[in-house]
A and B are shown apart, each in its own frame.
Chain A
Amino acid sequence: MSDILLQLNNVTKSFADGNGTQTVLDDISLAVKAGEFVAIVGPSGSGKSTLLSIAGLLLSPDSGDVIIGGNTMLNSKSNIRTAFRRKHIGFIFQTHQLLPYLKTKDQLLLFQDKEYNDSVTANDLLEDLGILECANKYPANMSGGERQRVAIARAFINDPDIILADEPTASLDATRGRYVVELIRNQTKKRGKAALMVTHDERVLDLTDRVLHLTDGKLRSM
């Protein structure tokens, strides 16, 4: 049995623009194994977010396959894909995107799908991420770094197959940003996820296992 949790096969995506179409992703293939932490870098507008959206089943490619934990979901209905995302994909966004009206523990408990998985507990995650003391705080009462750590906890709470992070350090200073990426790395390793992170931040690339460059619609290893 293969331990590849995220696989993109020959993915192509174009957008219509003013004069014709622009091919943002041109026949891209990618595989990420359990416990592997992969970074994607590239100039602004090169298609990094588009790639992440396709991997996260938020956007359908023009052609190609997306396989997550052995499942191909591209042909499923949107509500089935939505339910699939909750269980199999953990998202970390540029800004925390927590619900302002929930305390930290509720951000996790109300999102956790207990029927599907109860092996990961909110408490363990909060402890791992060093934010146990934030359990009863609202996002408004936490620092930017703490909020992003809660967002990481949320991404892991349903024990997903893959973690997708879109510039998770964009709203943080260098030290906090690096710490957050370290935490993503540690959890990815500890819990055996396949993690894909888009970033501008050259200084955190040493924490990843592999760095891929996206330019002109092609992915190149460095």
Chain B
Amino acid sequence: MKFALRELLYGKKKYILIELLLVLLMFMVLFLCGLVEGLGRAVTSAIDNRVADYYILSDSAEKLITVSELPDGIINEVREKTNSEVTTLDIQRMYLQKQGEERKLNVIYFAIDANSFLAPSVIEGKTLEYSDKDNPIVLDDDFMAEDIHVGDIIIDSASGFEFNVVGFAKDEMYGHVSVGFITRDSYTQIRTRLNPQYGTTIHALAFKGKPDDLDMDGKELVKKQDIIDNIPSYRAEHLTITMIIYVLVIVSAIVIGVFYYIMTIQKRRQFGVMKAVGFGMGKLSAIVVSEVSLLSVFAAVVANIFTFAMSAVIPQKMPFHLLPADAVSVSAGFVLISIVSSLISIIHISRVDPIQAIGGNDE
């Protein structure tokens, strides 16, 4: 480590350029990480944020809540058979408009029981449960950017049903659309207005904890993560960007490995002398690994600082959400692969013959 630090500091002009390149690459990697998580959150956050662990869907729904259909009475049947907390969930895509405005806004209703565990907490206003307004709605905070405020009246475009905006919740999206939490009662009214024959069915049951032996005839018990993985477009987007991230991490690590290898070739003679005077491969490898670790850790740390600083000033609407855990694992992967890539330098050094130190005719 002493050798490594001294050599890197002595040659800082040489190393600063490569560090710059590595910082840029790692910055790109971390930015993509934030983007994949951010985009992912835009698809899944409303499910992710729910404290439900399991859902029951109709088994023909293929784990997609929006196409599942369960008979209305099921909730009571289930309650009799299980001790787990259970509640209903309906998800419906619709349009909203502000009172007196033409502009239609996309919304996904999450119709819930106002005092169930599915109810969101709010960052502004009141929750569904504690609001004293009729037909309350709690909106995703992205609606704030649409000039909607607590106390406003908004209208369901198709049915003309009027909601009172009572609060805003943070980051509640489903399939790239912002969510509005409404009561089951409002939901039934809207459905009935649109279709007088609407016989009450529900999309899904949500459970806290795993429910015990239920009669699953025609129904399927689905884990929260499976629900998330089966939201349309989530998998495809997630996989593509994640692959790009891994490719970039590997490319960055190879850049460091190749750069270091070129430096090693230029220092052939120096390594020959070190071997001649008695530095073994153990010591020389340790120097190489320390130097590569220092170079890659430094680049990773600087890139992390940049990225997190940037994420603090990024506009609210941008789907960027960098998880510290992701940043750590990507950075650690980069450092590890860098160290592995330094192996070519170590192999090169192991082949240097110390005898070239003597004679010196090739100086």
Q: Which residues of A contact B (CB under 8 A)?
A: 49, 52-53, 56, 58-59, 79, 82-87, 89, 91, 93-95, 97, 99-102, 106, 110-111, 138, 154, 158, 166-167, 170
Contact assessment for B360 and A82 in the assembled complex, using a CB-CB cutoff below 8 Å? no
B343-360, CB under 8 A of A: which get 1 and which 0?
000000000001101111
Contact assessment for A49 and B6 in the assembled complex, using a CB-CB cutoff below 8 Å? no
Complex-state Cα separation, A154 to B273, whole angstroms: 12
Question: How many residue pairs between the two chains, A and B, have CB atoms under 8 Å in the bound complex?
Answer: 76
Residues from chain A with a CB closer than 8 A to the CB of B281 are 79, 82
Q: A58-B357, A91-B357, A94-B360 are in contact. Are A101 and B11 (CB under 8 A)?
A: yes
Q: Name the distance in Å between B9's Cβ and chain A's nearest Cβ.
A: 8
Q: List 22 A-B contacts (CB under 8 A).
A: A58-B357, A58-B358, A82-B275, A82-B278, A84-B278, A85-B277, A85-B278, A91-B276, A91-B357, A94-B360, A99-B3, A99-B274, A101-B9, A101-B11, A102-B3, A102-B6, A106-B2, A106-B6, A154-B277, A166-B359, A167-B360, A170-B360
Complex-state Cα separation, A83 to B277, whole angstroms: 9
Contact assessment for A111 and B277 in the assembled complex, using a CB-CB cutoff below 8 Å? yes
Contact assessment for A101 and B10 in the assembled complex, using a CB-CB cutoff below 8 Å? yes
Complex-state Cα separation, A56 to B359, whole angstroms: 12
Q: Name the distance in Å between A47's Cβ and chain B's nearest Cβ.
A: 11
Q: Counting chain B CB atoms within 10 Å of each CB, which of A82, A166, A167 scores highest?
A: A82
How many of B's residues come within 8 Å of A, CB to CB? 25
Q: Name the distance in Å between A196's Cβ and chain B's nearest Cβ.
A: 12
Complex-state Cα separation, A84 to B280, whole angstroms: 10
Partner of B278, one of A52, A83, A95, A138: A83
Judge if B270 is at the interface, Cβ distance under 8 Å: yes
Judge if B152 is at the interface, Cβ distance under 8 Å: no
Contact assessment for B7 and A82 in the assembled complex, using a CB-CB cutoff below 8 Å? no
Residues from chain A with a CB closer than 8 A to the CB of B357 are 58, 91, 93, 97
Complex-state Cα separation, A27 to B43, whole angstroms: 83
Residue of B nearest to A49 (CB): B359
Complex-state Cα separation, A106 to B3, whole angstroms: 9
Contact assessment for A79 and B359 in the assembled complex, using a CB-CB cutoff below 8 Å? no
Judge if B212 is at the interface, Cβ distance under 8 Å: no
Contact assessment for B358 and A100 in the assembled complex, using a CB-CB cutoff below 8 Å? no
Q: Quick one: which of B258-291 are within 8 Å of A by CB?
A: 270, 273-282
